[in-house]
Amino acid sequence: MTTETPIRLTIERLTREAFAPFGDVIQADDSVRHFTINDGNTERYHDLAHIDAGQDGRAIVSIFRGQPRILPFPVTMMERHPKASQAFFPLSDRPYLVVVADPASTPTIDDLRVFLCNGGQGVNYAKGVWHHPLLALDAVSDFLIIDRAGPGDNCDVVQMEAVSLIPALEWR
- Contact positions toward a second copy, by CB under 8 A? 26-28, 37-39, 41-49, 51, 53, 58-67, 69, 87, 89, 91, 93, 120, 122, 124, 133-134, 142, 144-146, 149
Q: How many CA atoms lie within 13 A of 99 on its CB side?
A: 25
Cis before 68 (ω within 30): no
Nearer to a second copy, 1 or 63 (CB): 63
**CB of 103: closest distance to a second copy in angstroms?**
20
Residue type, 77: M
Q: How many CA atoms lie within 13 A of 23 on its CB side?
A: 32
**CB of 99: closest distance to a second copy in angstroms?**
13
Nearer to a second copy, 8 or 44 (CB): 44
The alpha carbons of the chain give a radius of gyration, in whole angstroms, of: 17
Closest residue by Cα to residue 57 from 82, 81, 23, 84: 84
Nearer to a second copy, 36 or 104 (CB): 36
**CB of 6: closest distance to a second copy in angstroms?**
19
Decide: 138 and 168 in contact? Cβ < 8 Å.
no
Sign of CA dihedral 56, 59, 63, 69: positive
Nearer to a second copy, 109 or 134 (CB): 134
**CB of 125: closest distance to a second copy in angstroms?**
13
